Amino acid sequence: MFSKILIANRGEIALRIIRACKELGIRTVAVYSEIDRNSLHVRLADEAICIGQASSTSSYLNIPAIISAAEITDVEAIHPGYGFLAENPHFAEICESCKITFIGPTPENIRLMGDKMAARNSMHKAGLPIVPGSTSVIKNKEDALKIAKSIGYPVIIKAAAGGGGKGMRICHNDLTLISNLMTAQAEAEANFGNANVYIEKYIEKPRHIEIQIIADKFNHIVHLGERDCSIQRRHQKLLEESPSPVVDNKLRKRLGEAALRGARSVGYVNVGTIEFLLDSDNNFYFMEMNTRIQVEHPVTELVTGVDLIKEQIRVAAGEKLRLQQEHINIKGSAMECRINAEDFENNFMPSPGKIETLILPGGPKIRIDTHIYSGYEISPYYDSLVAKVISWGENRADAIKTMLRALSEFEISPIKTTIPFHLRLLSNPLFLKGDFSTHFVQEMLKEEQKGEDV
């Protein structure tokens, strides 16, 4: 096992990793930007090194500064968390060449899955159902029209190097396809430094269902069931739950087997998530693979009892995975609400600033993953996630009740958050029935808007 790890991240995930390390008896090194000097991850780690100015490019994306910090502190491994450098194959390669273990998959796997087009083709070859669409990058408008004709409208243009819900455009006819193509390419180039786009059939009202997997270096791999992440706004997840209200044991087995087949076909190691779209006839299609720990991993931890971060560190250290598929049971129901510093009442406008009052919920069956405290300044430089409230219940209805109780205790001011959004969502009759698709949030907000207009 490692004796010292550097955490190349900030916020709640840096804390989560430090906590796992402490329990494993591993010393920790935090890195931080100048503006994060008073952050909890800096306080809780055994050592901390400043790696640059506030902007991510100067600090949390600054590879030379992070590698120097790792060398100075003599760590054996780097945990990248999620976001920042977590899915950067170049960074994983540099770690390798500096003889520092990158806690994650191989650079080859990160590169393959980071190119969504290549990932699609590779999973198709492995026998996974993929969303009908292009098998190569769109060259010109004739190409785009031909593909759209063969799969039928609506279609979605996606950036091959895309992520974070950005760079997607839905098109309903030839005209919108042509006009969106150039903008999509330009946006892809601007956001991801890669103008390549491809086209997929736009699945109407699907659910976003993802399977968590973990593999060791000895070809042993298991899945830990699904997470339903259909509650999204602008393709960004707001609430995730496990199990999905629409996935039964039979479907879970099929999804799990498909995920394992896909991961095995590329010799995948460490944690990963295979994302699928599920249509109303229970057909599922591979969408993409995330080659890192995800924001929503706690819901899987609560229903399986597996500590994913510890397992991730253990397999990276070369230990054998002790989990056996037949021993992984989904117990009860868990859900996570992402509390963002965004003003729900004001179209989710960012609401950074200093926290004057903070009262965090507690009590049985509630887990809070957060880095904030009273007096903490939420910076506009990084993402707006300030806390994850995760509840567990014997069943979904209980998990919802506990979540409502917890959110009603949560006090934070003067910054505005997404808590009022979650309170509304959690009392919506369709949500309570489990009857929703990825369009649900948009529809719910539109419905409420209409009500207010009357």
Counting Cα atoms < 13 Å in the Cβ hemisphere of 33 gives 18
Q: Would you say 277 or 358 has its CB closer to ligand ADP?
A: 277
Single out the residue of 12, 36, 87, 200 in contact with ligand ADP (rule: CB under 6 A): 200
Dist. CA 238–CA 401, nearest whole Å: 18
Complex with ligand ADP: residue 288 or 296, whichever CB lies closer = 288
Does 111 participate in binding ligand ADP (rule CB under 6 A)? Answer: no
- Say which residue the tokens 């809780």 belong to: 44
Size of the site for ligand ADP (CB under 6 A): 21
Q: Is 43 a catalytic residue?
A: no
Task: CB nearer to ligand ADP: give 202 or 348.
Answer: 202
- The nearest distance, CB 28 to ligand ADP, in angstroms, is 29
| 274 C-beta neighbours (distance < 10 Å), count | 29
Interaction residues for ligand ADP, span 203-262 (CB under 6 A):
203, 206, 208, 232, 235
Shortest Å, Cβ 159 to ligand ADP: 8
Please report whether residue 275 would count as binding ligand ADP according to CB under 6 A. Answer: yes
| Total Cβ atoms within 10 A of residue 451 | 8
Residue 168's contacts (CB-CB under 8 Å, 6 or more residues apart) are 156, 157, 158, 159, 162, 235
Query: Which of 64, 165, 363, 414 forms a contact with ligand ADP (CB under 6 A)?
Result: 165
Q: Which is closer to ligand ADP, CB of 209 or CB of 269? A: 209
Q: Binders of ligand ADP among 175-194, rule CB under 6 A?
A: none
List Cα–Cα distances, 99 to 70, 71, 239, in angstroms. Answer: 11, 10, 38
Residue with smaller CB distance to ligand ADP, 106 or 438: 438
Closest to ligand ADP by CB, 201 or 388: 201
Q: Do 65 and 51 form a contact (C-beta atoms < 8 A)? A: yes
Does position 162 bind ligand ADP by CB under 6 A? yes
Q: Where are the alpha helices (DSSP H) in 140-232?
A: 141-151, 174-192
- ∠ CA 76-79-85, nearest 5°, is 120
Given the residues 233, 252, 292, 338, select the one marked as catalytic.
Answer: 292
Site for ligand ADP in 132-161 (CB under 6 A): 156
Spatial CA neighbour of 240 closest among 441, 15, 9, 27: 441
Query: Is residue 340 at the binding interface for ligand ADP, with CB under 6 A as the rule?
Result: no
Among 288, 296, 311, 369, binds ligand ADP (CB under 6 A): 288
Contact residue for ligand ADP among 129, 163, 352, 353 (CB under 6 A): 163
89 binds ligand ADP per the rule CB under 6 A: no
Is-contact 276 255, C-beta < 8 A? yes
Query: Exposed, middle or buried: residue 368 (CB in 10 Å: 0-12, 13-18, 19+)?
Result: middle
Q: Is 370 helix (H, G, I), strand (E, B) or coil?
A: strand
Residue 102 vs 202, nearer CB to ligand ADP: 202
User: Which residues make Cβ contacts (< 8 Å) with residue 96, sequence separation at least 6?
Assistant: 102, 107
Q: Which of 42, 242, 438, 444 binds ligand ADP (CB under 6 A)?
A: 438
Round to whole Å and give the CA distance between 96 and 197.
Answer: 31
Q: What is the DSSP secondary-structure string of 211-232?
A: EEEEE-TTS-EEEEEEEEEEEE
Minimum distance from CB of 444 to ligand ADP (Å)? Answer: 15
Q: Minimum CB separation from ligand ADP for residue 421, in Å?
A: 18
| Piece in contact with ligand ADP (CB under 6 A), picked from 65-73, 84-92, 200-208, 362-370 | 200-208
Our CB check for ligand ADP shows the closer of 21 and 295 to be 295
- When asked if residue 164 is in the footprint of ligand ADP (CB under 6 A), the reply is yes
Sheet containing 27-33: order of strands: 47-52, 27-33, 4-7, 77-79, 101-102
Shortest distance, position 280 Cβ to ligand ADP, whole Å: 12
Give yes or no for residue 131 binding ligand ADP (CB under 6 A): yes
Kindly state the smallest distance separating residue 322's Cβ from ligand ADP, in Å: 31
Stretch that binds ligand ADP, among 47-55, 59-67, 69-77, 202-210 (CB under 6 A): 202-210
Give the nearest distance from C-beta 207 to ligand ADP in angstroms.
9
Is the N-terminal amide bond of 129 cis, ω within 30° of 0? no
Instruction: State the nearest-atom distance from the C-beta of 422 to ligand ADP, in Å.
Output: 19
**Strand 270-278's sheet: what is its strand order?**
284-290, 270-278, 207-215, 221-233, 236-242, 333-340, 385-393, 366-370
User: Hey, which residues are catalytic here?
Assistant: 292
Give residues in contact with ligand ADP (CB under 6 A): 131, 156, 162-166, 168, 200-203, 206, 208, 232, 235, 275, 277, 287-288, 438
